[in-house]
Amino acid sequence: MRKLFYLNKIQMTLKDKIFNIQTENDFQKVALEIFNFQFENNPVYRSYCDLLYVHPSSVKSITQIPFLPIEFFKTKNVLSSGDVPKVIFTSSGTTGSTVSRHFVTDLNIYEESFTRGFENFYGPIEDFVILGLLPSYLEREGSSLIYMANHFIQKSNHPESGFYLNQMDELADKLITLDSSGKKVLLIGVSFALLDLVEKHSFNLKNTLIMETGGMKGRRKELIRSELHNVLKKGFGVQTIHSEYGMTELLSQAYSKGDGVFECPPWMRVLTRDTEDPLSLVENQTGGINIIDLANVNSCSFIATQDLGKVNSNGNFEVLGRFDNSDIRGCNLMVF
């Protein structure tokens, strides 16, 4: 009981620091504090660090912190908290496949992260009518994206906000009506569903922001992002297509405002690792994406993903592909 009280006290202190990061020095300091905390309180992460012979006493920079392979979320309970999880977010997967599980003990942290993150780039959620076109996520349980989108819909305070599953004609009419009225609209959708919509209807939208969350979910042939965006720009009659980059194992999101280059909120960073040597970081070249998400204070904040990308000198990044599951070192790439 005393240990749980001690853990909760530390977690609350760290939470306050996470969302008050203003400088790079702030980020480095908080990241090292969270690394020390998770090394001591996350058995899975501690074991991984021990296997690499890495101890906090030798870690002086975020570039020296080990990144836990994201596959561990499929087979282990990745937790740095003694609290009972409030929700378990799960990834989508094919029948019989093992899905990732993210045990979230404090939903307030998730809500603060995605709310502050969105408003950092786009302003108050209340300014938008939020329309969600996320059929593959609505059709299953445990989606962190649906949790976020639903929260946006509720916070928008617009009666027109809501989810759409298979009501393409109704959604098209709603989009045209709202856009013509001058209201600011955010349509957030999975890629294949957005393509389905513009194949059935054509638009010339002036006040609507189109945001794709990526992924064809096996419904369509994968397209490179520029090709997908060109089709969507023409179909919706807009100049740019925005993108959201997030995943089940994270509590934060990065956003792109139309050029395929993503920007992180102040408590999130992306680094790249060598595709042949996963323990070595690289700069100014394509590598495996490593993510520091300090909002993951109660699970693991340092994750080596299966995505490939490139980080620019200003810290923004591009997503260029994925590691082939048959060769985790990345000799063969599956580009989308």
Task: Give the mean model confidence (pLDDT) for residues 165-185.
Answer: 94
pLDDT value of residue 225? 85
Under the banding of pLDDT at 50, 70 and 90, the label for residue 336 is very low
Residues 273-288 as b or e (16 or more Cβ within 10 Å = b): bebeebeebbeeebbb
pLDDT tens figures, 242-257? 999 999 999 999 999 9
Q: Distance between alpha carbon 233 and the CA centroid of its chain, in Å?
A: 23
> Per-residue pLDDT tens for 70-80?
999 999 999 99
Distances (CA, A) of 321 to 92, 140, 289, 308: 18, 26, 10, 5
What's the pLDDT band for 8 if we cut at 50, 70, 90? Answer: low
Between 312 and 98, residue with greater pLDDT: 312
What average pLDDT does range 230-244 have in this prediction?
96
Q: Position of tokens 């495996």? A: 288
Backbone angles phi and psi of 214, in degrees to 5: 85, 165
